[in-house]
Every structure is written in C-alpha cells, then in structure tokens.
Amino acid sequence: MKFMILHGPNLNLLGKREPAIYGSITIDDINSSLVELAAELGCELAFFQSNSEGELINAIHGSVLECHGILINPAAYTHTSIAIRDALSAVGLPVVEVHLSNIHRRETFRHISMVAPVAVGQICGFGGDSYLLGLRALYKYVKNSL
Ligand code: DQA
C-alpha cells in the first residue's frame, strides 16, 4: 500500500512560522515521523509540498497512478480552494484531511473546509501528531476496504 502525503502553502516554514500556534516542529520532523510509522504499518509513502495551488492539483492527479489514498494538509487552501476539492473528488482516492492547529477554535474563516466534504475524515488540533493519527486512520480505512 502506498499513500501520498501532501503539504500545502507555508508549511515549508514550519518551525519558524508562528510557533505559538504551530510549535517548533518542522516539515522534515513530520515527514520523518511518518516514515517511521509507515515502516511500522508496512506501507510506502510519497511526499510533496507546494505553495502553489496548481502544483498541488497536479500532485493529486498524479497520485491516482500509484497511491491508495491521500493524506493532505491543504493549509490555507483548505478554506478557499474549490479546485483542490474538485481534484480530490475527481481522482476518487480516500482522503484524510489534517491540520496541526484546531481550525474550529481559531478565526471563523478557518472553520470552513472546502475539502472536508470529500474526505473520509478530518483530524486537527494535535500538532504533528495529527499527521500520525491521520495516516493510521487512512491506512486502516483502506485496508478494510480492500
Ligand atoms: C493549518 C491551518 C490553516 O488554517 C492555516 O492556513 C495553515 C495551517 C494547520 O495545519 O493548522 O496554514 O492547515
């Protein structure tokens, strides 16, 4: 089994970016912990980060060729991107949406997710652990549906 891990805009700055909200964890720390978990679960991962909506959409389209599911933190595009939602819907792979922060206790514009209605589920508020919980959930969901 293989999963695509997608990180949206500004997540390349984790560690330096608003540490009071996102903590000191970096994107490399997150990816390393996911690689460890994948070894435990016995699955493969592909990683992609972009600050560009179109590149994320191309990565979503590409996922269908080799992946069984998508774990995505769409970052700010969560709240705005019908195009990313449509791409996820178009490829039809199971999707788990994750966020480091609890978007529902932040500004009201973050309470809306364009992606949530096309995702199996959403995990937010657990910092880097949101990704680990998300991968476990996605793995189990796909395994149960094979
Ligand atoms: C985020 C939450 C979004 O609202 C924000 O735009 C981000 C990060 C999170 O992981 O908590 O860039 O997706």
Q: pTM of this prediction?
A: 0.97
Which residue's C-alpha comes closest to atom 12 of ligand 1?
Answer: 75
CB 145 within 8 A of CB 94: yes
Backbone φ and ψ for 111, nearest 5 degrees, come out as -75, -20
Domains of the chain: 2-145 (3.40.50.9100)
For 46-90, how does the pLDDT look when each residue is reduced to its tens digit (9 = 90+)?
999 999 999 999 999 999 999 999 999 999 999 999 999 999 999
What is the Cα–Cα distance from 93 to 30, expressed in whole angstroms?
A: 22
Exactly one of 7, 22, 77, 131 is catalytic; which is it?
A: 22
Tell me if residue 99 is catalytic: yes
What phi-psi label fits residue 61: left (phi over 0), alpha (psi between -120 and 50 degrees) or beta?
A: alpha
Looking at ligand 1, which atom is closest to the CA of residue 76? 6
For residue range 10-54, what is the model confidence (pLDDT) as tens digits?
999 999 999 999 999 999 999 999 999 999 999 999 999 999 999
Atom number in ligand 1 closest to CA 22: 11
